[in-house]
Amino acid sequence: GAFRVMVTEAYHRRCAISGEKTLPVLEAAHIQPYSQQGPHNPNNGLLLRQDIHTLFDRGYLTISEDLHVEVSKRI
């Protein structure tokens, strides 16, 4: 959809964490979940590889306010 296109372009077609550039394995993730009134715009998005997106959505990875990746101790 439009959100994926906007986020893909904003991240220059590369995963925000791994740098992966194979488009079929990249997904647009909402930073603040859309289901919790998170805006549907690129400022609320990350382009992530599918496996990283799953970890992010399940709370195993987060992005700190200073833009560092933080990994849960549950992994």
What are the residue boundaries of the structural domains of the chain, listed by start? 2-71
pTM of the model: 0.89
Q: State the DSSP H helix or E strand holding residue 47, giving kind and residue range, or none if neither.
A: strand 45-49
The residues facing 27 across adjacent strands are: 48
Q: CA 49 from chain center: how many Å?
A: 8
10-residue mean pLDDT series, the chain (75 residues): 96 98 98 88 95 96 90 92
**Token pair recorded at residue 59:** 């709370």
